[in-house]
Structure 1
């Protein structure tokens, strides 16, 4: 993407691999064995207050969003990209939000004795994550739209997980009605209401 670090205000800017990969992940139905370890590792890095580097506002580096549109963000925040990937990958999305997380080391290798943080990806994205703008634009409308990119991708990923089909492809039949047992809810209480 760059043959040398981008320099602005005396600071070097060089993206992380997950940022570069994010533009590719926004499209395509991925197998859970491929996308879920990436989604888990990105999420676990994000909970460590990972600083995903981005050039300063007004720079000419436009980001990694290959599909365009300010509403999808620029791609500097890879959490949005992995949620978009899950939105197109219903089986992977269901597993991501319902199965026990795997603990990863910072380098992406599995930590067999570690404790995954967060312990629930659903709770992290719905209740704990601080969504920040994902753009280098100085335009306030673009800034606001990019701040909504992550929550919108989360909604689409949850839609794919609960309906069993990619969010942007209509199902051939109405989705199977979920019961408390199928959702794995305790005491029959719903953990998620989809309207």
Structure 2
């Protein structure tokens, strides 16, 4: 089962976006703040309202691609990004059909856990294909029991290690210490490096 374009567009239009914090996630902001190479080719898949994209653009990162299946968040993002941001780098597409690359870095925030769990192995293969050798997939994954009542669907450190280890070196996979209060204790910060 795929939650398709119509599903996500309807969620945005109806404002049924409980995952939306209205700001860049503090763990991701802290990670972005320590990046010094402003020419990294960065992908933000399933970017939603794109707070991380705005944060990156305002920090001077030049090679951003923002991907979402629904047009609603991308239209909103156009109004919030700096005027210098190239509109063609806002891409409306299904992640699994997206073939651009290779990227140096992919930032993950709520996208993985919004996918039905049966798509997770395909997600790993797609990420592997999108990253250059040694490229990094970094961000946040939810850490609460897997549930059919998603999205989000949850997951565990053990599941993530099993899924990603064949294709990625697990550089960091630990409890996020600077999550917003409603997410304290339920987010894992990670950095996986493509083998």
Per the shorter chain, which TM-score range?
under 0.3
Q: Which has the higher strand share?
A: 2
Task: Return the index of the structure with the highest Cα Rg.
Answer: 1
Query: How does the TM-score come out when normalised to structure 1?
Result: 0.25
- Structure with more contact order per residue of length (Cα contacts < 8 Å, sep ≥ 6): 1
Query: How does the TM-score come out when normalised to structure 2?
Result: 0.25
Q: Which has the higher helix share?
A: 1
